[in-house]
Amino acid sequence: MTQGPVTLPRVLRISLSLLLVLLAVSVISILVGSTKIGTLPAIKELLYGWQDGYVGLAPEERTIIFSIRLPRVIFAGIVGASLSLAGVVFQGLLRNPLADPYILGISGGAAVGAVIGIIAGAGAIPFGISGLAFAGSLLTIVLVFGVAKTKGEMPSNTLLLAGVIVNAFFTAVIMFLISTSSQTQLRSVMFWLMGDLSLAEGKEILLTGLFLAAGFIVCFRYAKGLNLIVTGEETAMQLGVDVERTRKVLLVAASLVTAVAVSVSGTIGFVGLIIPHMMRMLLGSDHRLLLPASMLFGGAFLVAADTIARTVAAPSELPVGVITALCGAPYFIYLLRRKTL
């Protein structure tokens, strides 16, 4: 893929190509696992298993594919797409390639809510832990926007600093909560803090997917305005862009998408940092192409990372955040040195 003028046929062509990559990675992920299932029978089951009367795999193998692996793959794809979409928006608005969806402290607020829920035993209640995590995310959004707002405006630098400060405070709260938790609670807390996709269920998948779809529609609608803001706010205003309205709408949309994703999957780092930057290097900085491309490739990346996390130490399982950090930390260092040298 090469950079060039952004036209509708080009956007559709590249999006279709990346969609095929996502589908290919997803099929491979479904076929791979600690329980060995024949490749050809599993593929036939995926193609024809929904038909009445079709008998392919054994009942326990069907359960593994359709009740365990397939929902998890869909969930990983949606979460990866959500974090990548938010990363594109935050990097564009803050004009900083080192920004990611957690730069505003949203992950810190979600983590505090989730840790409180784990310690209090909220997991016994439907949406107990994820609900508290989402409430923590919303609280963070209100705090950061409130602190950063000056005379009705939210300057990018002030917003960034507010996010860093709030995130630092929540990190201290998390350390305090961890120090007071029991050994059995500690493992659940640490797994959630490093990202856990193993508890994917239909309600979480549907909720996250709906927020992702709505967030993408809003962000794509403002893609042209975001392009102009990246070149400079004064230039954007001269060309008729309502900079403050565009910034607020995009910040709220990206923050809500991140909040929902983090509340159900834990804090999975670096996806929203490295994927948008990779796509920008390959495809250019036009957000009409960058938004869908980052979403699709981000979904494929997290599906692949989660596949490695659940198979590399089988039958044990690693938090998916470990894999994304191993991939993202070296890339972050590369970006940092490239920006400063």
CA distance 328 to 312: 18
**Are the C-beta atoms of 266 and 321 separated by less than 8 Å?**
yes
Q: Per-residue pLDDT averaged across 177-195, rounded? A: 82
> Which of the given ranges, 79-83, 157-161, 195-199, 246-250, has the highest pLDDT on average?
79-83
- Which range (13-27, 186-200, 233-247, 318-332) has the least confidence? 186-200
Domain range summary for the chain, segments of one domain joined by +:
8-340
Place 122 in a pLDDT band, splitting at 50, 70 and 90: confident
CA distance 27 to 69: 10
Residue 152: what pLDDT? 67
Q: Per-residue pLDDT averaged across 250-276, rounded? A: 89
Q: Of how many residues is the chain composed?
A: 341
Residue 52: what pLDDT? 67
SS3 128: helix
Residue 269: what pLDDT? 84
DSSP tag of 270: S
Higher pLDDT, 154 or 207: 207
- Which range (28-32, 206-210, 336-340) has the least confidence? 336-340
Asked if pLDDT for residue 98 goes beyond 90, the answer is: no
Percent of the chain with pLDDT over 90: 32
CA distance 77 to 200: 12
Residue 120: what pLDDT? 85
CA distance 122 to 263: 14
Asked if pLDDT for residue 340 goes beyond 60, the answer is: no
DSSP secondary structure string, 157-225? Answer: HHHHHHHHHHHHHHHHHHHHHHHTS-HHHHHHHHHHHT---TT--HHHHHHHHHHHHHHHHHHHHTHHH
The second-level CATH assignment, the architecture, of 8-340 is: Orthogonal Bundle (1.10)
Cα torsion 89, 95, 100, 104 to 10°: value is -90
pTM of the model: 0.89
Residue 301: what pLDDT? 97
